[in-house]
Structure 1
């Protein structure tokens, strides 16, 4: 009788422990599921934010005003990073008589920029900067750093080949620092320089 009671007590204690352990295990499993779901949700949100950011970057555009000697002047929307030649193409290309050499068409266009394409006549009278903006009125001398090819060809002894060499030199070297530096251009020696040194400036 006494033994049966002890067995019954042991059985009851064992059953209670089993129930308690099962409850703890269930809670732990539920907590693990909750943590896993929360982590997955966080990763999904991060991916969604990255996708939105990427879409914003891809859709970034700029607006430029193309005017002067182009076939269809106006304001154009272009992808960020576009070059001047692409803006000119968007405006229908250059007109006959445009001073194409007055622009650095490989330059990157900026948002809000006005891209002015002068005529050859304007270029010869005034000169233009590399960004397509009219330069200051000329004092009669040719600016080696801003002159178009047509302007350079008005100098004594400078033909189309030498004019192109001058433009190439200033683009590769960031412009002339002195008029004497002109003698470093291929095909231009001291004799030619002495003939035109009073006609040029920087």
Structure 2
């Protein structure tokens, strides 16, 4: 009789152990953690905001410049561009070149400067590109804009070497640009005689 009772207790104990083991396993391995939908929404929103913030930071914020483009383009006009724009950008802004447009002699990668006038030549040679200024009528020498021309372009002027070209650029940057062609006489080495050599080849547009 005692043996039977002992076996009975052992059986009950084993059942209890099995039940508890099953309960614990269910609690640890089967039950899924609750997900807070609100937390997910907030996290996604923050991620989107961070992406927008990074995108905005990557966009350069420069000053505006005014550039004219004419010649063999579909919409010749004066355009307001970002100051980091290149010649190709204003060509695109003008609707691209015409059927007669010739880009072989145009440096499309050149950085634009305020006051530039870009002339797209035609394949028949009636137009010609510009060096920081505008072309003279009749296919004569180009007019150089002294407020935007590079050192190399300034050195094309009669009597202007590398040193004088550097002085022109230094004066332009320190004074905010030339108001008139006569302002060139404020630069050391350029007097009335020197200015007379290229006065008709420059402008301040």
* TM-score, structure 1 normalization: 0.41
* TM-score, structure 2 normalization: 0.40
Q: Which protein has the bigger helix share?
A: 1
